[in-house]
Structure 1
Amino acid sequence: MAHETILLWPLLIALLTPILILASQIINARRSRKTAVGFFHPYTNDGGGGERVLWCALKAIQEETPDLPCFVYTGDHSASPLGLMARASDRFGVNLLNPPQVVHLNKRKWIEEATYPHFTMIGQSFGSVYLAWEGLCKFTPLYYFDTSGYAFTYPLARIFGCKVICYTHYPTISLDMISRVRERSSMYNNDASIAQSKWLSQCKIIYYTFFSWMYAFVGSCAHLAMVNSSWTQSHIEKLWRIPNRTKRVYPPCDTSRLEVLPLERQAEVPKIISVAQFRPEKAHPLQLEAFAIAIRNLDFDLPRPKLQFVGSCRNKADEERLQDLQDKAVELKVDGHVEFYKNLMYRDLVNLLGGAVAGIHSMIDEHFGISVVEYMAAGAIPIAHNSAGPRMDIVLEENGQQTGFLAQSVEEYADALLKVIRMPETERLKMAAAARARAGRFSEQRFNDDLKTAIRPILHRAYEQ
């Protein structure tokens, strides 16, 4: 018996050693915790609306508490304090008061989609925990501010003694996603082979249900959850069940810079603009197909329009999607009427918006739709997907005047495009003016004020302790 006990000691030591090491790291991190804000945003070069939120939120906190240091956790190895400050200004027109400090993350591959060919959602979620561990061990702030939607990191941040604040653009799992799998609808996040199989669909429902339970738990760990739209708020409140800690803060749209653009469009060729990252959920092929139909059905005496795709590429997969889109334009025989702009500077985007008569958007259940607001502020009539943010918050009547079009099918998009191109100038100007007035509800200043109001209680209460 004594001999067996002796043999068990190495096994116990082997099991306890990593636990003790992890506990020691947490204790040391909590002791060295700094009164600062740490923004968890692994992709500070994605160029999308999420990055704009990061810089605007950082600026708002700098204005609210000027002596509170701000740090950014990023997986971009070339990022530097001055470089990020310049990027915020050059790419988004956001002028930070001071350059943020940088905490470099070397394990970003663990949240890359390509790392998880199967069970991608849960793989990325647990990968984010590992990534957050790396960041929090390097630097532990009093406030952990997630601006990328990595909810599985919230319990870990609380273990490290942080106050957890988040800005949620969309739920990682939603009730709509589960219902689509149950209905066996094929989409970018529900492969056709699964949708066609009753057994595989049932397995995925179980997987999604289990994941939603975990997501509900980790999300409830947030001290303050800000959401970007009515649609997101509805889902988050049902899942996380912390309505008293959930605040709706519409995302920052650069309406002030765009509102000064003239509503009149002088170009002889009508321009349709599409602003979105080259990601599968943005449904760019649908836009091309609708544009091709509109070209074929356009009156002979009207000038042929031009479709301008503007977006950023995060990785090789995005680059391949862009190339596929260019190939599809050739296949549809509209390549002579289509232009592609990759990773455009913000001032160049403003120039393109100022020349567009319409802006097209086609993502299903777009949580909000910053690009739609930008179209409206710039004087381009929006043609947006008839779901979620655009339908519930944005493309609504303004003082009884229609502000744009909502569509779902390729045919509906083509019909909306033709309506805009054929629209008399006086009617277009009237609709564009109403759309611009509506866009004013989602200004950067409105975001700034609402975010400060939301974070002020938690920020000052903990900061003063």
Structure 2
Amino acid sequence: MTLTFIIFSLITSLILRFSFTLINRRRNRTTAVAFFHPYTNDGGGGERVLWCAVRAIQDESPDLDCLVYTGDHDATPQSLLARAIDRFGVTLLSPPKVVHLYKRKWIEETTYPHFTMIGQSLGSVYLAWEALCKFTPFYYFDTSGYAFTYPLARLFGCKVICYTHYPTISSDMISRVRQRSLMYNNDALVAKSVWLSRCKIVYYTFFSCLYGMAGSCAHLAMVNSSWTKSHIEKLWGVPDRIKRVYPPCDTSGLQVLPLERSAEIPTIISVAQFRPEKAHSLQLEAFSAAFKRLDSTLPKPKLQFVGSCRNKSDEERLEMLKRKALELNVNEQVEFHKNITYRELVRLLGGAVAGIHSMTDEHFGISVVEYMAAGAIPIAHNSAGPKMDIVLAEDGEQTGFLAWNIDEYADAISRIIRMPEKERLLMASAARKRARRFSEQRFYDDFKAALRPILCHVSK
């Protein structure tokens, strides 16, 4: 009896505390836009969207303060302002305010060796609780894909806006488990077992239902591609609140680069964070295969990996790639550039004849557009964003190559290296023209148009 009373008292106390916190924070909301972006140093396309979104809101509604929730404890308003310029060429009108988060470990993939998706999703709710208790904005803007935080943000009285780069779960993922395909998110132990595969299908199906309910709490969901839009509409069930807004690609700065490239050492560039889904190993193996096929009379190509590391796991993957280059005996032809500045990235893109991308079901593929704008012929994975939106013919001219496996990638690399200069320039020119469809200006225009109905009451 005493134990029951204690448990009841504890539960009642927690409920009362939760309710009191919500009521208090709802009353003290600040007319501001707070961006939930726990990793402000990831250096990828998601961070570019963050800074362009901040700039767009500063343009559209100068009276609104912009704030960033970040788990990077060294981040300051001035350092983020400088980072936006140095890494992405985005000039903010004023420094964003910063709220530091100290529970970011709960969204780290290493925290959850098993049931990673549900673990990270629930962990994001805990992290969002910390964020919203510290600062409760009128507009909660998620730019990192943590849909499970949306119901909580609504409980705090926020208008929930998101820019979704890709669905956390998709029918494609469930299909791969059903087919028992081996991938970064479906390890060999599960893929080889019928029983474990069936259990995982149940888990994924259950998770997709929860994900759909959480996502449907968004007042406005912007998505980055046709592929993402089709999946999010199906999962969240609120098509009228979902708008496709292509991500900002720095096509203007890259368009001015000369299309002519050095013929002495053909350079192939790979721009991507060192994350498992980016499939850098496939690129190395394809490069090695292509290298072995080349005649001795042809110039020897070089492969440049350019990317950032978010955490220790990414650092370990980078070191693994270096070891793999040694094993494949192409280490002298491979370079690694980590956490470089935007200016240095532009320089490297300007020297590449081709850009390689190998992520399966890449939601969009900003790096592919950047290759095209810079005059580097893209070799992209034959799926999702690159296939549906980007590497398409322009005025009847081919703009690049789509590949599925090591052989197809190696063939594409070989074809570009052997390609006559006139043919390469024609394809590079068509690719550059295609890239103009995904400019930063188009992002700003579409982003503001989608946002205006939500921000309509804010004075300009």
TM-score past 0.5 threshold: yes
1:118: Cα distance to partner? 0.6
Deviations 1:409-449 (A, max 9, x none): 10000000000000000000000000000000000110011
Amino acid at match of 1:120: T
1:22: Cα distance to partner? 1.1
- Residue 422 of structure 2 corresponds to 426
1:15: Cα distance to partner? 2.0
1:33: Cα distance to partner? 0.3
SS in 1 for 2:152: helix
Whole-Å separation in 1 of the counterparts to 2:346 and 2:3? 71
Matched, 1:88 2:84: yes
Matched, 1:16 2:12: yes
- Residue 182 of structure 2 corresponds to 186
Amino acid at match of 1:450: D
Contact 1:267 1:355 in 2 (8 A): no
- Residue 437 of structure 1 corresponds to 433
Matched, 1:72 2:46: no
- Residue 330 of structure 1 corresponds to 326
SS in 2 for 1:46: coil
SS in 1 for 2:456: helix
Q: Tell me: CA distance 1:310–1:19, structure 2 relative to 1, closer, same or farther (3 Å).
A: same
Whole-Å separation in 1 of the counterparts to 2:384 and 2:374? 22
Whole-Å separation in 1 of the counterparts to 2:436 and 2:5? 68
* 1:41-190 equivalence runs, <5 A: 41-190=37-186
Whole-Å separation in 2 of the counterparts to 1:459 and 1:103? 22
Whole-Å separation in 2 of the counterparts to 1:80 and 1:124? 26
Deviations 1:301-334 (A, max 9, x none): 1110000000101111111111110011110011
Amino acid at match of 2:208: S
| 1:458 pairs with one of 429, 454, 458 | 454
1:266: Cα distance to partner? 2.8
Whole-Å separation in 2 of the counterparts to 1:138 and 1:418? 55
Identity %: 74
1:299: Cα distance to partner? 1.4
SS in 2 for 1:206: helix
1:300: Cα distance to partner? 1.3
1:278: Cα distance to partner? 0.5
1:209: Cα distance to partner? 0.4
SS in 2 for 1:304: coil
Matched, 1:412 2:408: yes
| 2:390 pairs with one of 387, 391, 394 | 394
The number of residues matched between the two structures is 459
Amino acid at match of 1:112: E
1:19: Cα distance to partner? 1.0
Matched, 1:343 2:339: yes
Amino acid at match of 1:21: R
- Residue 363 of structure 1 corresponds to 359
Deviations 1:162-206 (A, max 9, x none): 000000000000000011111111100001110110000000000
Contact 1:365 1:387 in 2 (8 A): yes
Whole-Å separation in 1 of the counterparts to 2:113 and 2:369? 34
Deviations 1:257-293 (A, max 9, x none): 0000000013511000000001111001111111111
SS in 1 for 2:433: helix
5+ residue gaps, structure 2: none
| 2:283 pairs with one of 283, 287, 291 | 287
1:14: Cα distance to partner? 2.1
Whole-Å separation in 2 of the counterparts to 1:127 and 1:9? 30
Amino acid at match of 1:264: E
- Residue 278 of structure 1 corresponds to 274
Amino acid at match of 1:13: S
Q: Tell me: CA distance 1:304–1:124, structure 2 relative to 1, closer, same or farther (3 Å).
A: same
5+ residue gaps, structure 1: none
CA RMSD of aligned residues (A): 1.0
| 1:207 pairs with one of 203, 209, 219 | 203
Whole-Å separation in 2 of the counterparts to 1:188 and 1:364? 10
1:131: Cα distance to partner? 0.2
Whole-Å separation in 2 of the counterparts to 1:390 and 1:263? 22
1:337: Cα distance to partner? 0.6
Amino acid at match of 2:119: G
Whole-Å separation in 2 of the counterparts to 1:301 and 1:84? 49
Matched, 1:258 2:288: no
SS in 2 for 1:435: helix
SS in 2 for 1:428: helix
1:10: Cα distance to partner? 4.3
Output the TM-score relative to the length of structure 2.
Answer: 0.99
Contact 1:255 1:440 in 2 (8 A): yes
Whole-Å separation in 2 of the counterparts to 1:273 and 1:424? 20
Q: Tell me: CA distance 1:31–1:404, structure 2 relative to 1, closer, same or farther (3 Å).
A: same
